[in-house]
Structure 1
Amino acid sequence: MPYLTQLADVARRTGHPVTEVAGWKRRGHGPQPEVQGIVCHHTAGPAGGGDYPSLGVVRDGRPGLDGPLSHFGLGRSGRIYVIAAGRCWHNAPSTSPRHDNSSSLGIEAENDGRQPWPQVQLDAYRRLCAELCREFGLPAARVRAHREVNTSKPDPHSIAMTEFRAAVAALVNGAPAPDSWTEEIMKELPMIRPGDDNFDVKTVRGCLFARGHVPPTAYAEIEEGLAGWLESTRCDDGLVALVREFQQAKGLPDDGLVGPRTWAPLLRV
């Protein structure tokens, strides 16, 4: 296989915001030989520090292990970071020949190994795995936790992989999301109100853009343009107006609040 330069397009199909890390298309320990499996990790990085503070380590490596260490990063906000198109040192030694470094793709999700998983991050995790399964013709059974294919690893913590794979399989097959986790997502996602300033606001911005509800006029006066608009964590008047327009388009009460009824079409769950 060549370098997998389609990975950013695959990530965008999830509907979650995507960051292409500079140089990713030629980053890797040579080309990726094949894709027979997907390995899910957590970073064991800091408990704070923003959306994806482990980017530098995953991209560049650490003492004794050169980067890249994974093809994808997954931020707490559900943002997907495309880091490398070539082979990555993310699982060795592997107990599965389909999940070693030469045969699998790695996803490093930001988590310190103890903190609760944000539901939007879990949704992005499932959807990214589903889109990768579609792209490479894999069954959901090929999605494995690091701990399932490496006896010395504990990650990703607390994710029940049987349920996780069932959700991935439903997404791959185009079936409705299983009620057990769809309802959980809707209950756990935060209410976004005018004036809020947090990373969940960035998720709203990314989803609105992915759904085609961010016109160029929304960021025309921002120095950094669209990139700056997407990175803003503030729920300002302009964003509230776009939320109301989205709600009107979906036949929802146009109160400008992002609660369960608005999160569902934003995330398409």
Structure 2
Amino acid sequence: MPWLTQLADVARRTGCPVTEVRGWKTRGHGPQPEVQGVVCHHTAGPAGGGDYPSLRVVRSGRPGLKGPLSHIGLGRSGRIYVIAAGRCWHNAPSTSPLHDNSSSIGIEAENDGSQPWLAEQLDAYHRLCAELCKEFGLPASRVKGHKEVNRQKPDPHHIAMDDFRSAVARLIKADQDGDGWPGRLLRYPPVTRGEDVRDWQQAAARLGYELDIDGAYGSASRAVCRKIQRDAGLDDDGIVGRLTWAATFHAR
């Protein structure tokens, strides 16, 4: 398998914000031989320090272990950091031949190993794993926690991996069934300024949807936001940067 230079495009399909770390397309311990699985980690990095303070270590390594240490990083905000396109030292020794350094993609999510997981980060984690599974033709069962394929590791802490895989499987199935867009009830947080709300309502109407503001806070479906933006020509910075409230799209 060549260098995984499609990873940034795969990450963007989640609808989450994406940062391409300089040099990622040629970073790795040689090309990635194959992708048979996905391994989920937490960084065990600092408790504070911003969205992804572990970037330097994941990219460049630490004493005794040269980087990159994972293909992808996941910030506390749900931002995805694409770090390497080649093989990474993220799981060895592995108890699974489908989840070692030569056969799997590693994701390092920012967490000190005891902090509660933020809803937006877990949502992005699920979406990222689902998109990776779709890209490489993997079932959700191929998504494993580091703790499941390396007996020496505890990560990702306090995540029940069976529940995690169920969430990934639902996202894969929704896409296969065509339920992700359009169709079923979709939630996203729209803007609060009146003129921006009108922009979204008009855009939704042109796409055959009705936008109802209910004023209750809910979780973001960024993929929906991005879809509306692309189809309706709405400005990214001018609208998505001010999303704060919950709403629903209903198919007409």
What band does the TM-score fall into relative to the shorter chain? 0.7 to 0.9
Q: In the alignment, which residue of structure 1 is the partner of 2:226?
A: 210
Gap change, CA 1:217 and 1:112, over 3 Å in 2: same
Q: Residue 70 of structure 2 contacts residue 90 of structure 2 at CA under 8 Å; is this kept in 1?
A: yes
1: CA distance, partners of 2:243 / 2:9: 30
Secondary structure of the residue aligned to 1:173 is: helix
Residue 41 of structure 2 is aligned to residue 44 of structure 1? no
**Amino acid in the other structure paired with 1:172:** I
Residue 70 of structure 2 is aligned to residue 70 of structure 1? yes
Q: Which has the higher helix share?
A: 1
Q: Residue 17 of structure 1 contacts residue 210 of structure 1 at CA under 8 Å; is this kept in 2?
A: no
What is the TM-score when the length of structure 2 is the normalising length? 0.76
Residue 103 of structure 2 is aligned to residue 117 of structure 1? no
Deviation, 1:170, is 1.1
2: CA distance, partners of 1:158 / 1:138: 24
Q: In the alignment, which residue of structure 2 is the partner of 1:232?
A: none
Q: State the superposition RMSD in angstroms.
A: 3.0
Range 208-217 or range 39-48, more displaced: 208-217
Gap change, CA 1:217 and 1:129, over 3 Å in 2: closer
Gap change, CA 1:47 and 1:20, over 3 Å in 2: same
Range 135-144 or range 167-176, more displaced: 167-176
Write out aligned runs for 1:193-208 (5 A): none
Q: 1:260 aligns with which of 231, 238, 246?
A: 246
Q: In the alignment, which residue of structure 2 is the partner of 1:130?
A: 130
Secondary structure of the residue aligned to 1:48 is: coil
Q: In the alignment, which residue of structure 2 is the partner of 1:181?
A: none
Gaps in structure 1 of 5+ consecutive residues: 178-185, 195-202, 219-225, 230-238, 247-255
Gap change, CA 1:208 and 1:86, over 3 Å in 2: same
2: CA distance, partners of 1:86 / 1:19: 17
1: CA distance, partners of 2:225 / 2:69: 29
Q: Residue 13 of structure 2 contacts residue 223 of structure 2 at CA under 8 Å; is this kept in 1?
A: no
Gaps in structure 2 of 5+ consecutive residues: 181-186, 194-218
Alignment length (residue pairs): 213
Secondary structure of the residue aligned to 1:100 is: coil
Secondary structure of the residue aligned to 2:247 is: helix
Q: In the alignment, which residue of structure 1 is the partner of 2:201?
A: none
1:51-102 alpha-carbon deviations (Å, 9 max, x no partner) = 1010000000000000000000000110000000000000000010100000
1:174-204 alpha-carbon deviations (Å, 9 max, x no partner) = 2669xxxxxxxx8xx999978xxxxxxxx98
Q: Where has structure 1 moved over 3 Å in runs of 4 or more?
A: 189-194, 206-209, 211-218
Gap change, CA 1:34 and 1:114, over 3 Å in 2: same
2: CA distance, partners of 1:171 / 1:77: 20
Q: Which has the higher strand share?
A: 2
Q: Equivalent pairs: percent with the same residue?
A: 69
Gap change, CA 1:160 and 1:112, over 3 Å in 2: same
Secondary structure of the residue aligned to 1:105 is: strand
1:107-159 alpha-carbon deviations (Å, 9 max, x no partner) = 00000111111101001100110011111111111100000000010000111
Write out aligned runs for 1:161-172 (5 A): 161-172=161-172
Q: In the alignment, which residue of structure 2 is the partner of 1:143?
A: 143
Gap change, CA 1:190 and 1:61, over 3 Å in 2: farther
Q: Residue 17 of structure 1 contacts residue 207 of structure 1 at CA under 8 Å; is this kept in 2?
A: no
Residue 108 of structure 2 is aligned to residue 108 of structure 1? yes
Residue 4 of structure 2 is aligned to residue 4 of structure 1? yes
